[in-house]
Amino acid sequence: MSGAGHARLLDVFKGQPKAVWITAFAAVIAFAGIGLVDPILLSIAEALDAGPESVTLLFSSYLGVQVVAMLVTGAFSARFGPKRTVVTGLVLIVLATLACALAGTIGQLVALRAVWGLGNALFIATALSVIVGAASGGQQAAILLYEAALGIGLSVGPLLGALLGNISWRGPFAGTAVLMAAALVLSLRFLPPDENGREQRQPIKLLDPLRALRHGGLLRTSVGSALYTAAFFTVLAWSPFVLQFGAIAVGLVFFGWGVCVAVAGVTLAPKVAARFGELGGTIIAVVIYAALMGVMTIDSKVVVVVCVILSGLASGLLNTLFTGSAMSVSPVPRPVASAGYNFCRWLGGAIAATMVSHVAGWLGSPHAPFAVAAVLCVLAAGLLALGLRRPDPHRVPDEAAVVGEEF
């Protein structure tokens, strides 16, 4: 990459307001919570005498509540303002993670992860709209910042879980509580105050996110993302049980995976979008993901490790491209589009996390969930391909194309 390329990429991240950086930092920690439990799944199962079907509920409860709560985030934000919404979400996350560190049964952990999911729902959807609304450099720069936070969080989460989980399975939860408390203090101190009076904010009704899905482009994008996210959480929730590695080894595998997510989401996605369009790039990336899922059905731990790490590259592309499409493909307000899109997106993850251990049992193979994930990605590609009949209305802005051309 040329020196000019470095400069142009840095221009996307330079000069951003404090509100953007504070929200991005909190997003890093929030997204770290997704993969935090990965390295300690086996430790939790052993310590609390729980089977895989019980332990994977730590993902299901977290995502299931988050899915339902996504429907109310837009209305909550419109009524109380984005800062109050972000702060409320962070408070719930701090309380839930602290309580997780003190839990004594798998049932308590599952219930507390549900509270964590509620906090995450209030925070995540609002954080995206806050960053998009406050960032300099346009929507594409904001999405790059958001996806960079996602990638860093996904890479830090497993590493943090491995290092603290090697001491005790309670450690990662306590560590997350401390970091989220820091994000809460910074948000209270530096995020701009909400406008006084609801009349200054556009009212959003509870069902508006679902009504927004009547738009064909947003619906295709959201359902396609749900199918891909189901495959994503198959990798996240099931790979540790296939690998049967210790906490440190699993953490290192998913750290490599998370780094690939961050790099692809920030540097490769703009280039792919500039070359093939958001829709075309998304179809290519989801087909690649399907191929990797198919390879993971091979009964080899080395193959699974390599494919898990490489799948991070496809995930980075898909996270950025799907988000970009969802935020620009329809005329509805960004908070409403974000809530409707995230509802579908995380619903796919919640169902996958709930069913993955049962799929392995029904089909009689620990690698069977990866085959199902491959089929889901093929379905996503077919659904998205329906949109190719119409011109892609959301080409990448010039600043994103310039960044992509240098990589």
The reported pLDDT for the residue numbered 232 is 93
Buried b vs exposed e over 145-180: b needs ≥16 C-beta within 10 Å?
Answer: bbbbbbbbbbbbbbbbbbbbbbeebbbbbebbbebb
Q: What amino acid is encoded at 110 in this protein?
A: V
- CA dist 109 and 88 (Å) reads 21
Tokens 């609002």, residue? Answer: 126
Tally of domains within the chain: 1
More confident residue, 407 or 337: 337
Percent of the chain with pLDDT over 70: 85
Mean pLDDT within 271-282: 89
Confidence tier at 11 by pLDDT (50, 70, 90): low
- pLDDT at 3 (0 to 100): 40
Structure-token pair, residue 234: 């198959």
Q: How far apart are CA 218 and CA 114, in angstroms?
A: 27
pLDDT tens digits, one per residue of 358-377: 899 899 899 999 999 999 99
Each residue's pLDDT tens digit, 229-263: 999 999 988 998 899 888 889 889 988 998 898 88
In sequence order, the 6+-apart residues with CB closer than 8 A to the CB of 305 are: 243, 253
**pLDDT digit string, tens, across residues 57-107:** 888 888 888 888 877 776 777 778 888 888 999 999 999 999 999 998 999
**What is the residue-wise DSSP string for 296-328?**
TTSS-HHHHHHHHHHHHHHHHHHHHHHHHHHHH
Average pLDDT, the chain: 82
Average confidence (pLDDT) over 265-288: 90
Mind listing the pLDDT tens digit for each residue in 325-343? Answer: 887 777 777 767 777 888 8
pTM (two decimals): 0.79
Coil, strand, or helix at residue 137? Answer: coil
pLDDT for res 395: 43
> Which residues, other chains included, contact 239 with Cβ-Cβ below 8 Å and sequence gap of 6+?
38, 253, 304, 308
Query: Domain residues for 108?
Result: 3-405
Which helix (H) or strand (E) element contains residue 261?
helix 247-263
The span from the CA of 248 to the CA of 166, in Å, is 7
Name the band, by pLDDT with cuts 50, 70 and 90, for residue 292.
very high
For residue 398, what pLDDT band results from cuts at 50, 70 and 90? very low
H-run or E-run covering 141: helix 138-165
Q: Does the structure show a pLDDT above 80 at 133?
A: no
Distance between start and end Cα atoms, the chain: 6
User: Which class for 193: exposed (0-12), middle (13-18), buried (19 or more C-beta within 10 A)?
Assistant: exposed
For the stretch 32-61, pLDDT in tens is 877 777 788 888 888 888 888 888 888 888
CA nearest to 100, candidates 115, 122, 90, 88: 115
Check which CATH number belongs to the domain holding 353 and give it: 1.20.1250.20
Structure tokens at 314: 């496809």
Burial 300-316 (b: 16+ CB within 10 A, else e): eeeebbbbbbbbbbbbb
Q: Which residue has the tokens 């799944």?
A: 41
